[in-house]
Structure 1
Amino acid sequence: MPSYLLKGGVVATFTKDNKPVAFNADVLVEGSVISNIGEGLTAPSGVEVIDCTERWICPGMIDTHRHVWMAVLKGYPQCDWLLSEYLVKSTLVLQAHITPDEVHIGQLAGCLDALHSGVTTILDHFHAANTPDHAEAALEATVQSGARVILCPGRQSPATRTLPSPEYGIEEETLKWQLEKLQEWGSRDGGKLSADGRVTLGLAYDLATIGPMEKHQEILKMARAIPVSIITAHVVKGPRILIYRDGGLLGPDVVFSHCNELYDHTAPDDEMWAAMKEHNCAIASTPEDELGMAHGNPPAFEAVERGIKCGLGVDCASINSGDLFTQMRFALQFYRGRQHEQVDRDKKTPPQHNKYNAADAFRLATLGGAEAINMSHLIGTVEVGKKADLVIFDTTSANLAGISNPFQGVVFHASNADVETVLVDGEVVKRDGKLTKVAWGPVAKELREKADRIRERHPESSLEVLWAEYYTKFGGPLWT
């Protein structure tokens, strides 16, 4: 495997004692790990030198909640849908009728989209495991992409009927093969789904509020015995956290996405926050779509204040772009806006400074994400001995030229156009602004073809008719 000396850059990262630091240094990458950091390093024989003059060297960003395969659904205006509208149009129809080859190209394109934006690790809530072929298509594309991914197949079956109410007519057979597939994948070297260990096994489990708790306990006990590395589930509104707690399902391997319910629970001794803290669970906050789709308010910095593990996520690749720059900005500016609003409303003396700054948002997208998925010993910072998951920013770009503080630059000014080079596990997957492990051109062509096919099969007009029927029948939100 090639090795690299990243020469003459500025390293921007957090330290072991949780401080943001930026310093001039060379970074030596040997194999899949960072082997040395310091000024004036000399490249050993056979090591390629990458000139990082006027470049920032940062840890790869970590997405703690994304439905990667949904990149193939970008042709629909999902960014304008309410959550309840999305659940009907996308979950009950598009997701239920997606084909394995459509999942494959969506998964591949979604992973490459992430890498292009400097996101090197993804917690993938893969909720389109409709058949064994769908599951294998997702795995194959994930491994092919070169991204670091915790692939969490969803324990759920596709809808077999939409009206007059949803019906899941193949639940029994789906449950059987999904658990068999989980066992099969888990038997591969302890859940390592790729030879290099970049792709590992998790489980997405949204069903704990449905049916007897004993069944859920049995399934999660089996999953943990495999072991899966992460168990993830959606929490928007409602008491799901307490249901997990009361069923004995919580643990440090649990990542709840969204958790907007928690924003409304402000008491220091609130039992939901207490359960998260006691069991060392994590939150994956996706502020951009949460604010726009009626999930509720994003609790990212409320989690930070309470010492709860928290990372950021894109959520649906069909709704938002595949970068975490936007998520960092939304999370930070939403928190600031609400604090300013409260000061004004209560006629308080304004603070001298904002409580949280760009470095705090940067941490959510890097080290915070690594902590959330229990991988901070491997990724999330630029340190000797950690995996070489690195992003190199070109500071001579139109976006970044003249900026001296890399944390402010990355959070408030950067885009994927400034991501010059990306390494995952010591392998260069983007160089000079172009993806290298998988050529983008053929992927883009197939993605367009498959997206057109889906839209022909499910025209937007027919989805709107279905949604109108649902809205007339049920009215309010469907997430409770």
Structure 2
Amino acid sequence: MTKYLLKGGTIATSVQGSDEPRVFKADVLVEGDTISRIEENISPEAGVEVIDCQDKWITPGFVDTHRHVFMTVLRGTQCDWLLTEYLVKMAWSLQGTVTPEEVAIGTLAGLLEALHNGVTTILDHFHAAHSPEHAEAAFKATIESGARVIWAPARQSPPTRLLPFPEWANDAQAVQWQRAKIKEWGSLAGGKLRPDGRVTLGLAYEIFNWEEGTVPRHQEFLAYARANNVQTITAHVVKSPSILGWRDAGILGPDVVLSHCNALADRPELDDEMWKALKDSGAAIGATPLDELGMAHGNPVAFDALKRGVKCGLGVDCLSINSGDIFTQMRVSLQWARGHDHERIHLNKEKAPFKNKYTCADAFRLGTLAGAEALNLAHLIGSVEVGKRADLLVFDANSVNLGGVEDPIAGVVFHASSEDIEMVFVDGEIVKKDRKLVRDWAPVVKELKQRADDVRKRWPAELLEQRWKQWYDANGAPTI
């Protein structure tokens, strides 16, 4: 069993049952995959590797509750797109043509990027499971990466036609093989896709049609998934009120993570029906404020969720547009919530507040423990506590970015970046050391660049723009 003693550091962690984080000096003993002791002045025993953490901060790893990991192979392709434009250009065009090899390298590179940025746990909404070969490629890359992942292949198929309206002629075949693979994956140690449980089985399940005759089909498929050890079910909800559809169908539960949920924004009623449905069911939200604001999803709701006692974590969403770090999401989420609150006060001519309503501690919690709670993993990860898995970050408090910062919570939320993370542990395994990934990045990026070039050659920007204009001229913007 590998043992590490992180000696002399400052621990900064959120704590379950409290809105206030804990910041204190202590040593951390890691034995195997678990934090076994947190005390001052632990004496190292034989066989323990001592890691000097003087002038270091020790925090939990970040948790991402909504990310499309394979899209790393599509980096930079949609940074100026609207959500409606994304649907036509990406979801209904480019995405359906990616190869298993492109999926594999995008997944591996995307998870290594996450680890480099201190994101140790990811809910991967994998919406390019177009064939068994695509699914297996992503599956193997996920296992290989070393990240903690809820791997959620999507129950969907690529469209077989775009105009005049999208058509999914091959979906019946996709249902058959996807059901078979869910049963196969779910039989692996009760949905543990790695023997150590670091990768578990999820399901991405979109519901766009709530007509009465379709509901039994959704109920049956999700019951089948749950019976086959699917531990987390996730879906996109943007501006539609479909949260109530999930509730009324009896399929909303504590294992459900609905991403975005911008339909909940600016609903002041404390007994609002959609908010109540989420809280009563124990379902969670995966908020991705950066692209929600930029792509016209609507206003972010993460801090509203905290206020209402609804489980919520942060996410990066599309790696084709966003960087893979949670620092950005914490900052944007916090400053959006503050700015929106300030705007309301000014418009209503209310008395100026004595303090900001939302704090750095709130944002830090969203990026760590709240995300673990949203994924039902808070008993394992999300905080630095004895008995939890050793998913840990070690920050250099003397770095160019952090030197002079006294409060690690404020430092992490507002000043830190990936370059300040010296070490990353996942399950007690060191995956980043001396500010570099342990995994050799050079061959990964070589293949990533080649595969990305292949995609761009197939789908030049001019062709994507032409398809978007054809759609828009014929139909206007798609409704979400």
Question: How much does 1:301 deviate?
Answer: 0.5
2:394 is matched with: 392
- The answer to whether 1:458 aligns with 2:459 is yes
1-structure distance, mates of 2:382, 2:93: 37
One-letter identity of the residue aligned with 1:456 = K
One-letter identity of the residue aligned with 2:248 = D
> For 1:88-103, what aligned pairs fall within 5 Å after superposition?
88-103=88-103
Residue number among 235, 250, 253 corresponding to 2:252 in the alignment: 250
2:334 is matched with: 332
1:187 is matched with: 187
> For 1:20-419, what aligned pairs fall within 5 Å after superposition?
20-76=21-77, 78-207=78-207, 209=209, 212-419=214-421
1-structure distance, mates of 2:379, 2:151: 19
Question: How much does 1:210 deviate?
Answer: 5.2
Q: What does the per-residue CA deviation read over 1:305-355, in whole Å, with 9 as the maximum and x for residues that have no partner?
A: 100000000001111000000000011000100111111111111111101
1-structure distance, mates of 2:127, 2:266: 28
1-structure distance, mates of 2:352, 2:15: 31
One-letter identity of the residue aligned with 1:388 = A
2-structure distance, mates of 1:175, 1:141: 23
C-alpha contact 1:208 1:244 (8 A) present in aligned 2? no
One-letter identity of the residue aligned with 2:129 = A
Aligned partner of residue 62 in structure 1, secondary structure? strand
Question: How much does 1:162 deviate?
Answer: 1.3
2-structure distance, mates of 1:267, 1:352: 24
2-structure distance, mates of 1:249, 1:213: 10
One-letter identity of the residue aligned with 2:201 = L
1-structure distance, mates of 2:286, 2:422: 27
For the aligned residue pairs, the C-alpha RMSD in angstroms reads 1.0
1-structure distance, mates of 2:61, 2:179: 32
Aligned partner of residue 319 in structure 1, secondary structure? coil
Show structure 2 runs of 5+ residues with no match. Answer: none
- The answer to whether 1:467 aligns with 2:465 is no
Aligned partner of residue 92 in structure 2, secondary structure? helix
One-letter identity of the residue aligned with 2:80 = D
Question: How much does 1:176 deviate?
Answer: 0.2
Question: How much does 1:208 deviate?
Answer: 5.6
C-alpha contact 2:76 2:321 (8 A) present in aligned 1? no
2-structure distance, mates of 1:83, 1:16: 36
One-letter identity of the residue aligned with 2:448 = L
C-alpha contact 1:105 1:447 (8 A) present in aligned 2? yes
2-structure distance, mates of 1:301, 1:316: 21
1-structure distance, mates of 2:389, 2:368: 13
Aligned partner of residue 110 in structure 2, secondary structure? helix
Of 192-201 and 158-167, the range deviating more from structure 2: 158-167
2:446 is matched with: 445
C-alpha contact 1:209 1:240 (8 A) present in aligned 2? no
Aligned partner of residue 249 in structure 1, secondary structure? coil
Q: What does the per-residue CA deviation read over 1:200-231, in whole Å, with 9 as the maximum and x for residues that have no partner?
A: 00110002635610010000011111221111
Show structure 1 runs of 5+ residues with no match. Answer: none
Question: How much does 1:79 deviate?
Answer: 1.5
One-letter identity of the residue aligned with 1:418 = D
2-structure distance, mates of 1:432, 1:282: 35
Aligned partner of residue 218 in structure 2, secondary structure? helix
Percent identity over the alignment is 60
Aligned partner of residue 264 in structure 1, secondary structure? coil
Q: What does the per-residue CA deviation read over 1:21-47, in whole Å, with 9 as the maximum and x for residues that have no partner?
A: 110111000000000001101222111
C-alpha contact 2:15 2:369 (8 A) present in aligned 1? no
C-alpha contact 1:209 1:243 (8 A) present in aligned 2? no
2-structure distance, mates of 1:14, 1:241: 29
1-structure distance, mates of 2:256, 2:409: 29
One-letter identity of the residue aligned with 2:69 = V
One-letter identity of the residue aligned with 2:269 = A
Aligned partner of residue 310 in structure 1, secondary structure? strand
- Aligned length, in residue pairs: 477
1-structure distance, mates of 2:472, 2:331: 33
2-structure distance, mates of 1:54, 1:112: 26
1-structure distance, mates of 2:106, 2:479: 26
C-alpha contact 1:208 1:216 (8 A) present in aligned 2? no
C-alpha contact 2:68 2:318 (8 A) present in aligned 1? yes
Aligned partner of residue 168 in structure 2, secondary structure? coil
C-alpha contact 1:75 1:455 (8 A) present in aligned 2? no
Of 261-270 and 394-403, the range deviating more from structure 2: 261-270
Q: What does the per-residue CA deviation read over 1:401-443, in whole Å, with 9 as the maximum and x for residues that have no partner?
A: 000100100000111111110000000000000000x211111
> For 1:423-438, what aligned pairs fall within 5 Å after superposition?
423-436=425-438, 438=439
One-letter identity of the residue aligned with 1:134 = H
One-letter identity of the residue aligned with 1:427 = E
1-structure distance, mates of 2:39, 2:174: 53
User: TM-score, length-normalised on structure 2?
Assistant: 0.98
Question: How much does 1:152 deviate?
Answer: 0.4
Q: What does the per-residue CA deviation read over 1:160-206, in whole Å, with 9 as the maximum and x for residues that have no partner?
A: 11122111111111000001100100000000101221000011000
